[in-house]
Structure 1
Amino acid sequence: MSAEPVVATSAPEHDAQEDAPSNPTLSEHCTSDRPTPAGEAPKGEMRKLGGVDVYLAKPESYPSDPCKLLLLLTGGTGLQSQNNQIQADKFAAEGFVVIMPDLFEGDPAPNQSAKLPEPGAVEGETQDEIAGSFLEQFKLKIGETAKSFLIDMWLARHTEEKVMPILEKVIQAAQGEFADAIGHGGGIYGVGYCFGGRYILLLASERSPSQTGWTGAQKPADEEAGQSKEGPLIKAGALAHATLVSPEDFNGLKSPISLVCVESDPMFPDEVRTVGEDTMNKTGVEHEVRVYPGVPHGFAVYGDYVEAHIKEAQVTAHEQMLQWIKEH
């Protein structure tokens, strides 16, 4: 299939994803790094900001030359991933001071890269050999179930109630230390991948203080009366193949948003995307949505692929996100 993205900015598609799971979580692409291309290595630094561990990447000319501030939110591979660090460096090379916070407090997602063997009996196998092969596949299937359980437990440790305060600490500290970059850009910009993609939507939203944990849960109307709205916390945002997104996450959006999406992505089902597009169209939020066919979930995260069309799509997705935040 062609890697040319399908652009949808005003007329959302309405094809329902029939085989999408009812409760998508994380795929192996959210929790496992691709090989790092030879000769590539991170150039930034690890430090604390607002008491939170962050990876900081800056243009070589900063602070002599004015730059904008960018918040980069990772998938489950987290802060220590070299690929994520190199991705931050690439944005820094384009004139951004990049802050990549540890969303998981030193607890990245459990690796989920093991695969079951290809099915199919080998000609001439004895019954004992067939039984042994079945047993090995059964054991591996149990292992997959155990890993899925570990992912669920990990997600339970890293909820909005845990992650949003981390981001608020980083943003507050950045407003002091990098006030020049924030002032130059007229605000903070944000990009997010997989797990981090959903938080770009939350940071781009205007919410009532009565909403608890940024989940959208409301207090009674009489308690909410007279309360002012808060946010958005970013000026513009771009996200790639977000996961754990619900249709409600598009409510309250105020900042321009660019979405990199994967065709028939069970982690970000078509029905969620189309509801989101409808919501943004109705509320007048400036946005763009590009759907990339023939690529896996997680393709836009920096890392090497053998397939040329995935490599090309990765470059195109990066340019899409980069141009969006540069133009806004």
Structure 2
Amino acid sequence: MASYPPGQCCIQGFRHEGEATGQIITFGPENVQAYVATAAPDKVRNGSGILFVPDIFGLWQNTKLVADQFAAEGYTTFVVDVFKGDPLPYPPPMDLNFRKWIEEGDDGKPPHNSAVIDPIILDAVRALKERYGVTKVGAVGYCFGAKYVVRHLNKTSGIDSGFFAHPSFVTQDELAGVQGPLSIAAAEVDQQFPPDLRHLSEEILQKIGLPYQINLYSGVSHGFAIRADISQPQQKWAKEQAHAQAVAWFDHTLQLSSEKL
């Protein structure tokens, strides 16, 4: 594993306050939902947009607010409901069987595995390009969502550059298969992405030979980039810097041709 499977820390964190300004749409043959935050025409970054694969809470408040931030930076952002209406509620129930929810879904819903999610990602990339005129796609993933950034950072899926924070469930083979530049925001305290796996990931990315970046944030734990306690100055700063890291990465990698990377 390049990161361990989701654990208890993946369901902990804080809900953020604010008013989301995007809209909910449906896309693809199965009418999957997405939250879309559209960049203002005068701020669009050279035809670039962002596919956002969320954490296990799906299209919740925190996700929407972060998407709105990307749109304010000039990146129309498409947040995919990879759970097809079955995200974990926030806060999660005390008796949650996390593993069962991932492998089997809940109340008749489909499981939350690659066989179900991969086609959704492909449909989302197509929708982002066809509906919103995006020509270069960056992908962001938080916790659970990191796996699908890694799986689809390739020419076949149509994703040009990737960023993820505090990953879970990423395998070594998946990471070794990326075909585009990748930026990682890591937490100092993270059972899913501890130092040994972070160093292993660095070794894998070095061998690939494409541009990569791994930033380590002190004083924070798994989930900080999407569920930080922003009443705590260090957590708030780290969350904001991880977001700035993603924007700077896409500013660099999506605005340059692949020959220059």
**Which band: TM-score by shorter chain?**
0.7 to 0.9
**151, 155, 158: which one pairs with 1:233?**
158
Q: Summarize the alignment of residues 1-328 of structure 1 with structure 2, pairs less than 5 Å apart.
A: 24-28=5-9, 30-32=10-12, 34-37=14-17, 40-50=18-28, 51-61=31-41, 67-79=47-59, 81-109=60-88, 146-147=95-96, 150-156=97-103, 157-178=111-132, 180-182=133-135, 187-205=136-154, 231=156, 233-301=158-226, 304-328=229-253
Asked if 2 retains the 8 angstrom alpha-carbon contact of 1:86 and 1:302, the reply is no
Shift of residue 305, structure 1, vs aligned partner = 2.5
- Higher share of residues assigned strand: 2
Query: Scaled by the length of structure 1, what TM-score is found?
Result: 0.68
Flag structure 2 segments of 5+ consecutive residues without an equivalent.
Answer: 104-110, 254-261
Partner SS for 1:263:
strand
Q: Within 1, Cα distance between the matches of 2:51 and 2:61?
A: 17
Q: Within 2, Cα distance between the matches of 1:302 and 1:31?
A: 9
Q: Within 2, Cα distance between the matches of 1:240 and 1:110?
A: 21
Q: Within 1, Cα distance between the matches of 2:40 and 2:102?
A: 37
Asked if 1 retains the 8 angstrom alpha-carbon contact of 2:125 and 2:157, the reply is no
Q: Which amino acid aligns with 1:89?
A: D
Q: Which amino acid aligns with 2:101?
A: W
- Structure of greater Rg: 1
Note the alpha carbon deviations across 1:266-296, whole angstroms, 9 max, x for none: 1123222222211111120210001112102
Q: Percent of pairs identical after alignment? A: 28
Asked if 2 retains the 8 angstrom alpha-carbon contact of 1:263 and 1:293, the reply is yes
Q: Within 2, Cα distance between the matches of 1:49 and 1:247?
A: 31
Q: Within 2, Cα distance between the matches of 1:102 and 1:264?
A: 28
Shift of residue 307, structure 1, vs aligned partner = 1.6
Asked if 2 retains the 8 angstrom alpha-carbon contact of 1:67 and 1:95, the reply is no
Q: Within 1, Cα distance between the matches of 2:161 and 2:44?
A: 25
Tell me how many residue pairs correspond in the alignment.
Answer: 242
Flag structure 1 segments of 5+ consecutive residues without an equivalent.
Answer: 1-21, 115-142, 206-229
Q: Within 1, Cα distance between the matches of 2:209 and 2:45?
A: 35
Q: Within 2, Cα distance between the matches of 1:95 and 1:254?
A: 25
Note the alpha carbon deviations across 1:37-82, whole angstroms, 9 max, x for none: 3xx2100000112222000111233699854211011101101x11
List, as ranges, runs of 4+ consecutive aligned residues in structure 1 with deviation greater than 4 Å. 62-67, 110-114
Moved more, 161-170 or 246-255: 246-255
Asked if 2 retains the 8 angstrom alpha-carbon contact of 1:260 and 1:289, the reply is yes
Asked if 2 retains the 8 angstrom alpha-carbon contact of 1:204 and 1:233, the reply is yes
Q: Within 2, Cα distance between the matches of 1:55 and 1:90?
A: 13
- In structure 2, relative to structure 1, the CA distance for the partners of 1:160 and 1:253 (3 Å cut) is same
Q: Within 2, Cα distance between the matches of 1:240 and 1:188?
A: 18
Q: Within 2, Cα distance between the matches of 1:23 and 1:252?
A: 18
